[in-house]
A and B are shown apart, each in its own frame.
Chain A
Amino acid sequence: MSDINWRLAARSLKRDLRAADVRALFVALVLAVAASTMIAFFLDRLERGLERQAGQMLGGDLVLEQRDPFSEELRNTLEQAGFTLSDQVDLVSMISQGERFQPASLKAVDDIYPHYGVSHVDRGNGVEQIASGPPAGEAWADPRLAELIEIEIGDRVQVGQTELTISGIIEREADQSAGFGNFNPRLMLNTADLEATGLVQPGSRIEFELLAAGPPAALEQVQGLLAQLRRDGVEVRDVRVDRPQLGNALQRAESYLGLAGLAAVLLAGVAVAMSTRRYVERHLDTAALLRCFGASQYQLVTIFSLQLIGLALMASILGALLGLVGQSLLLWLLTSFLPMTLPPPGIMPLWLGIFTALSVLVGFAGPTLLRIKQVSALKVLRRELDPLPPAAWLVVGVASIVFGGLLWLYSGSFPLALALLVGGSALLALLWGVSSLLLNGLLRAVQRLTGGGEWVQAFRLGGRQLARRKQAGLGQLLAFSVTFFAMAMIVLVRGDLLTTWQDQLPEDTPNYFAINIQPGERDAFEQAVAPRVDTQSTLYPMVRGRITEINGQAPRDAVPADARGDNSLRRELNLTWQSDLPEGNQVVAGQWFTPASEPQGWMSEVDATPSSDSETVPISVEDGLAERLGLGLGDEITFAVGSDSIITRIDSLRSLNWDSFNPNFFVIFPPGVLESFGHSFITAFHLPDEEQGLVRELVSDFPGVSLLNVDAILGQVRDVLTQVTRAVELVLILVLLAGVSVLYAALTASRPVRAHESGLLRVFGAGNRMISRVQGAEYALLGFASGLLGAVLAELATAALYLYWLDLTPRLHIGLWLTLPIGGALLIGVIGHALSYSLRRQAPAASLGLLGEA
């Protein structure tokens, strides 16, 4: 019995593939799968890549750090849990070659280093990828250090009491993220030489690190131990908690991609629902006949379900292949700011794709398909005995539940899925009303067109046809207008918004940052720069410090859960001291320091004597940071600066103007506290075009000072934005295609009626050309209305961005109002016209038996 179901299903599916509704169904499913798998494949690779990279950046799956060497006992416990251990020691020390001295950040690694990844090292034969540290007796310097003390491969440098041979220039360390980490240049050496340097002394600031690599199970096993260690003041970094956060832009892109992908799935679902309707209508006769020959209701449902499931599986495979191609395209578009090479695509997304296709089928076709069960065998004798179509609320209800489930699955959050579903429905209902008004207006205007031109006539007739199918037309209008809107927004954000924002910055907004100005260079630098620049910010002293405690607790435990991975806790912060509130800052809560002590005029060298005062220091914190970390006035923060701990209390919260391109600080100390620690200065200035020569002079006169060009940074921002938006655009194209599939499905659903209409037109004397034009005009009108609505939405959204984000008066985008409606009319007109080609060919036959079956 079941055998025959399969055979019947397979056979009729094969034949059915030629039917327009089955094709529409197929295309829609392919698009749904392509959109969802493309994004799933990509995000899956990204996730796994990040996980792997997290381990690599940390240097292991678990990293412990403390001021003293680790005990044998701890090592044994970890090894028994299944970890491989590697030792690392970090310290800052002066190194020298000949007369040149330079503080450097030393990193001593053992022979197991690195657990993961490779270092990029030039050992004289170009940059190589090396999975080890320098051997004993040798050291690798980073390019900055090499430049500062003028060393080359083969030179010997003095490190503490020993000499090491520079055997390589290290471009990139295996366990360090890109970007500027330490301000001191790097020297990497072997732990075997550490003893000989004599730098490991009680009291000197040394960090001992134990890097452990092991499976997740091992990590699980030692959680209790880790908690204990944390309480003992050991810094514990766990790969699963301290994984690097995606860059903001990328994270945004990720959620946009996800949303756009689901939009495509939703549209495809609508297309599926429409074409299923026609599919079922077409098969009612078959069903009645099968019933007549003794098939049970169950068998009918089985046969047709099998058929559609077969279709869905084929669509899944094709869609997944397209998704695979799409994700590599996405990857290619985003390549330059993915910080790593990604692992190859996994199999998971494929299942996800198949699951998506089947869900869309069940949710959007299910209720309609069940209608086939209701067919009466008597229909073979009495044609008109068609079962009633399922109630609209049932179709919409089931589809919403299934789509909500998909939202949940993809977003991973039930409240978010629910909010999206409810909010989305409300928004759609609103848009439905607006577009209904718009379409009515447009159609009325078209009917008033006068003149006898063929095209005018075609538009009048096309408008009337559109009016007859207004409900379906409205659905398509909504789909296209939202897609057009999204596309317009992307183009606007990329071009208009960024340019506008940049244009509104004052002429003399700083275009250069100078960092790492050593105290000794300060005056010389000022003298070199001051006469040649338009504006210059204060020189801010900068000291690096790490938050070690908040209100007496480990920071991780004191902040809200979602802030645990915050950069401010993971990295050292740049601290400064000021007696006056910096320009562009505003105290929003508490009090700015009351001037007490005069700032000290002298600057200390590296690693000066520890400061002796241990009383609580008032500080000022940026309000955004405070909000993220859940901090308020009166909260106590302990900073580790140099080898000291400083207990501070938040006395004021400040808001900053990040647009000012002045140095901005999250945390400001009062004068008299940080002066004794190693610090450098930072400033920003605006260099007029004709003075660009200064840059070269500064680079050669102050080699230790880094100059950052703001224009270049903005250029990078623009690049990133371009790439992200390209990626989103790619997905939007899929959304647009899904919209076209809705159009196609609607076209097939209305086929018999359309054939009838064309037949009538023909009877009344319209030629092929006229009929073809009428169809083109109908879709062009639809496209025009969609473009118009899209433009309205885009203009409103940009106006909101202008007002609330850029603080500018909104302006009208004439281009938008021209491009979208006209482009939409052309695009949809041409596509709709092309899709109805087969219909036009059938029209003559249909016109004979006006109500003939298609």
Chain B
Amino acid sequence: MASQPVLHAEKLAKRVTSGERTLTILHDLSLSVAAGESVAILGKSGAGKSTLLGLLAGLDTPSDGELTLFGHALSRLDEDGRAALRAGRVGFVFQNFQLLPTLSALENVLLPLELSPRAGEARTAEQWLERVGLGERTSHQPKQLSGGEQQRVAIARAFVTDPELVFADEPTGNLDPDTGAQIIDLLFTLNHEAGTTLILVTHDHALARRCDRCLRLTNGQLEAFDPAPASSEEGDE
């Protein structure tokens, strides 16, 4: 579709210092994601997946390297500038759902819509809840919903602003396999329908396989990776 990548990372590095020791989590990492593409990032626990996701979404700043999001060099933007860039254009799905406990399902979905410059109406939020199968539960608070239902609310929230890019950090990590599978189906269905670019962090090879491209994070760098075919799935991780 577009000639320009949605996201382009060039020689990213992330180092953290705790006390006297410097820990390099990522180094010399490059990545380019085209519009409409879905990319899976795999890696062992502690490999730095979440750290990378935070960098790519502009939630955090790299120690080195250059990152371009929607054609904007993030290094030239301050926190507020990066936030403004995200508003309405980036959706998030988290492992631990991150719904606001004091807001109802509908209000949670409305939240990014209200913060986005292309503000929509409450109706849009209701429609999205209906699409994730929670049309009847709009007024319920997160604690009244099951884990899977909460994650569905979170997915509706991620897509409600019609974003160009959705980040998902282990969206099934806190769910049982059956529920996880349902959530994955939902995520990919919506993604295809909306033609969104998806960057997905996961442990799950089956999930990774459904993406256009798979990358593995080892020793702070990304490498192309072909998740094992269905037959040998159990052998990994």
Q: A7-B114, A286-B100 are in contact. Are A291 and B83 (CB under 8 A)?
A: yes
Q: In the assembly, what is the distance between CA of A289 and CA of B54, in Å?
A: 13
Nearest-neighbor residue (CB-CB) of B89 within chain A = A294
Which residues from B are CB-within-8-Å of A711? Answer: none
The reply to whether A294 and B103 contact each other, CB–CB distance below 8 Å, is no
The reply to whether B86 and A298 contact each other, CB–CB distance below 8 Å, is no
Q: A380-B59, A380-B92, A381-B53 are in contact. Are A294 and B102 (CB under 8 A)?
A: no
Q: Which of B80, B83, B112, B117 has the most CB of A within 10 A?
A: B83
Would you list 24 pairs from A and B whose C-beta atoms are within 8 A, ordered by A residue? A4-B115, A7-B114, A8-B111, A8-B114, A12-B103, A286-B102, A289-B100, A292-B86, A292-B92, A293-B87, A293-B112, A294-B88, A294-B90, A294-B112, A295-B83, A295-B87, A298-B80, A376-B59, A377-B79, A380-B59, A380-B98, A381-B94, A382-B50, A382-B54
Q: In the assembly, what is the distance between CA of A297 and CA of B98, in Å?
A: 20
Which residues from A are CB-within-8-Å of B88? Answer: 294
Count of interface residues, chain A, beta-carbon cutoff 8 Å: 28
The reply to whether B116 and A294 contact each other, CB–CB distance below 8 Å, is yes
Q: In the assembly, what is the distance between CA of A378 and CA of B45, in Å?
A: 18
Per-residue CB contact flags for chain A residues 85-123 toward chain B (1 = under 8 Å, else 0) read 000000000000000000000000000000000000000
A285 on the B face (CB < 8 A)? yes
Nearest-neighbor residue (CB-CB) of A14 within chain B = B102
Q: Could you tell me the distance in whole angstroms from the C-beta of A384 to the nearest C-beta in chain B?
A: 12
The reply to whether B53 and A297 contact each other, CB–CB distance below 8 Å, is no
Q: In the assembly, what is the distance between CA of A504 and CA of B44, in Å?
A: 89
Task: Determine which of A1, A4, A289, A298 lies in contact with B98 in the assembled complex, contact meaning CB atoms within 8 Å.
Answer: A289
A296 on the B face (CB < 8 A)? yes
Q: In the assembly, what is the distance between CA of A289 and CA of B83, in Å?
A: 11
A11 on the B face (CB < 8 A)? yes
Which residues from B are CB-within-8-Å of A496? Answer: none
> Which positions 90-109 of chain B face chain A at CB distance < 8 Å?
90, 92, 94, 98, 100, 102-103, 107
A16 on the B face (CB < 8 A)? yes
The reply to whether A378 and B112 contact each other, CB–CB distance below 8 Å, is no
Q: Could you tell me the distance in whole angstroms from the C-beta of A845 to the nearest C-beta in chain B?
A: 11
Which residues from A are CB-within-8-Å of B53? Answer: 381
> Which positions 641-671 of chain A face chain B at CB distance < 8 Å?
none
Q: A8-B114, A294-B116 are in contact. Are A15 and B103 (CB under 8 A)?
A: yes
Q: Could you tell me the distance in whole angstroms from the C-beta of B155 to the nearest C-beta in chain A?
A: 15
A290 on the B face (CB < 8 A)? yes
Q: A293-B116, A296-B84, A381-B53 are in contact. List 14 more A-B contacts (CB 8 A).
A: A4-B114, A8-B114, A291-B83, A292-B57, A293-B92, A293-B115, A294-B83, A294-B85, A294-B86, A294-B116, A295-B83, A297-B79, A299-B115, A378-B60
B119 on the A face (CB < 8 A)? yes
The reply to whether B98 and A285 contact each other, CB–CB distance below 8 Å, is yes
Q: In the assembly, what is the distance between CA of A218 and CA of B86, in Å?
A: 67
The reply to whether A296 and B94 contact each other, CB–CB distance below 8 Å, is no
> Which positions 269-300 of chain A face chain B at CB distance < 8 Å?
285-286, 289-299
The reply to whether A295 and B115 contact each other, CB–CB distance below 8 Å, is yes
> Which positions 46-64 of chain B face chain A at CB distance < 8 Å?
50-51, 53-54, 57, 59-60
The reply to whether B102 and A15 contact each other, CB–CB distance below 8 Å, is yes
Q: In the assembly, what is the distance between CA of A381 and CA of B103, in Å?
A: 20
Q: In the assembly, what is the distance between CA of A382 and CA of B50, in Å?
A: 8
Which residues from A are CB-within-8-Å of B85? Answer: 294
B149 on the A face (CB < 8 A)? no
Q: In the assembly, what is the distance between CA of A382 and CA of B51, in Å?
A: 9
B169 on the A face (CB < 8 A)? yes
Which residues from A are CB-within-8-Å of B94? Answer: 380-381
Which residues from B are CB-within-8-Å of A298? Answer: 80
Which residues from B are CB-within-8-Å of A8? Answer: 111, 114
Task: Determine which of B50, B80, B116 lies in contact with A381 in the assembled complex, contact meaning CB atoms within 8 Å.
Answer: B50
Q: In the assembly, what is the distance between CA of A4 and CA of B50, in Å?
A: 30
Task: Determine which of A11, A290, A297, A377 lies in contact with B115 in the assembled complex, contact meaning CB atoms within 8 Å.
Answer: A290
Q: Could you tell me the distance in whole angstroms from the C-beta of B198 to the nearest C-beta in chain A?
A: 17
Q: In the assembly, what is the distance between CA of A1 and CA of B115, in Å?
A: 8
Task: Determine which of A7, A296, A376, A381 lies in contact with B169 in the assembled complex, contact meaning CB atoms within 8 Å.
Answer: A381
Which residues from A are CB-within-8-Å of B116? Answer: 293-294
Q: Which of A291, A293, A296, A382 has the most CB of B within 10 A?
A: A293
Q: In the assembly, what is the distance between CA of A12 and CA of B83, in Å?
A: 21
Q: A11-B103, A12-B102, A290-B111 are in contact. Are A378 and B79 (CB under 8 A)?
A: no
Per-residue CB contact flags for chain B residues 66-87 toward chain A (1 = under 8 Å, else 0) read 0000000000000110011111
The reply to whether A377 and B59 contact each other, CB–CB distance below 8 Å, is yes
Which residues from A are CB-within-8-Å of B111? Answer: 8, 289-290, 293
The reply to whether A296 and B83 contact each other, CB–CB distance below 8 Å, is yes
Q: A15-B103, A289-B98, A378-B60 are in contact. Are A4 and B119 (CB under 8 A)?
A: yes
Q: In the assembly, what is the distance between CA of A296 and CA of B119, in Å?
A: 16
Q: Could you tell me the distance in whole angstroms from the C-beta of B219 to the nearest C-beta in chain A?
A: 21
Nearest-neighbor residue (CB-CB) of B85 within chain A = A294
Q: In the assembly, what is the distance between CA of A294 and CA of B103, in Å?
A: 18
Q: A294-B84, A296-B84 are in contact. Are A381 and B115 (CB under 8 A)?
A: no
Which residues from A are CB-within-8-Å of B102? Answer: 12, 15-16, 19, 286
Q: In the assembly, what is the distance between CA of A291 and CA of B115, in Å?
A: 10
Q: In the assembly, what is the distance between CA of A290 and CA of B86, in Å?
A: 11
Q: In the assembly, what is the distance between CA of A700 and CA of B86, in Å?
A: 99
Which residues from A are CB-within-8-Å of B98? Answer: 285, 289, 380
Which residues from A are CB-within-8-Å of B50? Answer: 381-382
Which residues from B are CB-within-8-Å of A293? Answer: 86-87, 92, 111-112, 115-116
Q: In the assembly, what is the distance between CA of A7 and CA of B107, in Å?
A: 11
Q: In the assembly, what is the distance between CA of A298 and CA of B59, in Å?
A: 17
Nearest-neighbor residue (CB-CB) of B96 within chain A = A383
Per-residue CB contact flags for chain A residues 15-49 toward chain B (1 = under 8 Å, else 0) read 11001000000000000000000000000000000
Task: Determine which of A11, A377, A381 lies in contact with B107 in the assembled complex, contact meaning CB atoms within 8 Å.
Answer: A11
Q: In the assembly, what is the distance between CA of A299 and CA of B57, in Å?
A: 20
Which residues from B are CB-within-8-Å of A19? Answer: 102
Which residues from B are CB-within-8-Å of A16? Answer: 102
The reply to whether A294 and B87 contact each other, CB–CB distance below 8 Å, is yes
Q: In the assembly, what is the distance between CA of A311 and CA of B86, in Å?
A: 31
Which residues from B are CB-within-8-Å of A377? Answer: 59-60, 79, 83
Q: In the assembly, what is the distance between CA of A15 and CA of B102, in Å?
A: 6
Which residues from B are CB-within-8-Å of A378? Answer: 54, 59-60
Which residues from A are CB-within-8-Å of B57? Answer: 292
